[in-house]
């Protein structure tokens, strides 16, 4: 497709379970970002991948969060032992190197931990 | 189909002058709009917002104007300062059947010249 694709669009999980969120960026975009948007709060940066460089993981809130980007394309954000405070919309964005051509955001995955 | 459009990928403004960043949208159901600012290698940070029932919101040097009939909003920064150089994102919130969606523009890179 032409845009950034995220799946699933909605996920309800029980507290303590692990979840995987997927992001398929635009072909040719070397930069990929994960963000978290909690209702009523600002966007929270989680992790940034740029090409083959080591990812910037400075935004990950705890060691329960991890992300991978395979082959410089698809990325998976994994949350282990989910907690209720993990409930949020998880957004993925991609851009060409340096973002000089703009960023494209996916429509997000709404995660609800019950 | 982009529902939130920022048609200027970049804008250059002299320090001390007014910066005007524009955003157009297509969905009249959007009920809240936000502006975010992003520095390189960092996540976007919230700047200012406006409810769809208002036409203006002011916070210090930043003012957001909303023209619902034209489906257009703008961010005014006056006076512009060197630290304002960043990428600015316009975003819209859509609540549909309790399904909260955040839809982003592609961003406008603002360069403040000394």
- pLDDT tens for B22-47 read 999 998 888 889 898 988 766 677 78
The answer to which of A3-7, A61-65, B75-79 has the lowest mean pLDDT is A3-7
Is the Cβ of B69 closer than 8 Å to some Cβ of chain A?
no
Strands of chain B (E only): list them: 4-5, 10-14, 19-25, 32-38, 45-51, 56-59, 62-67, 72-77, 86-96, 99-104, 108-113
CB contact under 8 A, A89 and B9: no
Q: Could you give the CA distance from residue B20 to residue B62 in angstroms, rounded to a whole number?
A: 10
Question: Most B CBs within 10 Å: which of A58, A102, A107, A112, as the mutation test of the B interface?
Answer: A102
CB contact under 8 A, B9 and A48: no
Q: Could you give the CA distance from residue A110 to residue A112 in angstroms, rounded to a whole number?
A: 7
Q: Is it the case that residue B12 has pLDDT exceeding 90?
A: yes
pLDDT of residue B93: 78
């Amino acid at each position: 497709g032409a845009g950034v694709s995220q799946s699933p669009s909605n996920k309800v999980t029980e507290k303590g379970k692990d979840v995987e969120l997927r992001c398929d960026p635009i072909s040719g975009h070397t930069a990929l970002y994960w963000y978290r948007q909690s209702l009523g709060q600002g966007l929270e940066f989680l992790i940034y991948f740029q090409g083959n460089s080591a990812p910037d993981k400075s935004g990950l809130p705890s060691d329960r969060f991890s992300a991978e980007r395979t082959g410089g394309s698809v990325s998976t954000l994994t949350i282990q032992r989910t907690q209720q405070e993990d409930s949020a919309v998880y957004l993925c964005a991609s851009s060409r190197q340096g973002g000089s051509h703009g960023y494209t955001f996916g429509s997000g995955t709404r995660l609800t931990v019950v | 189909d982009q529902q939130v459009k920022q048609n200027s990928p970049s804008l250059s403004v002299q320090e001390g002058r007014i910066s005007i960043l524009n955003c157009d949208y297509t969905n009249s159901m959007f009920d809240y709009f936000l502006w975010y600012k992003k520095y390189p290698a960092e996540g976007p940070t919230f700047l200012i917002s406006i409810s769809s029932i208002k036409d203006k919101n002011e916070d210090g040097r930043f003012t957001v104007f909303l023209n619902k009939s034209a489906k257009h909003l703008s961010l005014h920064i006056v006076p512009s300062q060197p630290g304002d150089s960043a990428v600015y994102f316009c975003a819209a919130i859509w609540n549909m059947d309790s399904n909260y969606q955040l839809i982003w523009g592609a961003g406008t890179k603002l360069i403040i010249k000394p």
